[in-house]
Structure 1
């Protein structure tokens, strides 16, 4: 891993940012519009948060260049 790339091209950075945003939205109780039931909305946010965390992990494992 000697090549460098800008931070905004990193899968790990973007997935980590999505994880933080989704977790903050869940914590803040952001309204979910037309979705019926709070449990459904909470479940969707939790699934998306878990998926973005997995993408961040995948991005780090498959990285071939360092962030410069």
Structure 2
């Protein structure tokens, strides 16, 4: 592995949260079908991907150096 990152930046952590969310919600009395859980996972993935892309663009625009070989 290379370096460290925030747990919230980890796809594994997000996948785990999404996987256990229906069971946790069920414990507190909120029922969720498999289709609903799948839909939530797809939306969460799309949102995370979009935010990542926007952060990458922002980082490149804000950068003070060009990209290239030294």
TM-score where L is the length of structure 1: 0.52
| Partners of 1:35 and 1:48 in 2: CA distance | 19
Root-mean-square deviation over aligned CA pairs? 2.9
Gapped runs of 5+ residues in structure 2?
A: 65-70
Task: Give structure 1 stretches of 5+ with no counterpart.
Answer: 1-12
Count of residues in correspondence between the two structures: 50
Query: Which structure: larger Rg?
Result: 2
User: Normalising by structure 2, what TM-score?
Assistant: 0.51
The higher-RCO structure (CA 8 Å, 6+ apart) is 1
* Bigger proportion of residues as strand: 1
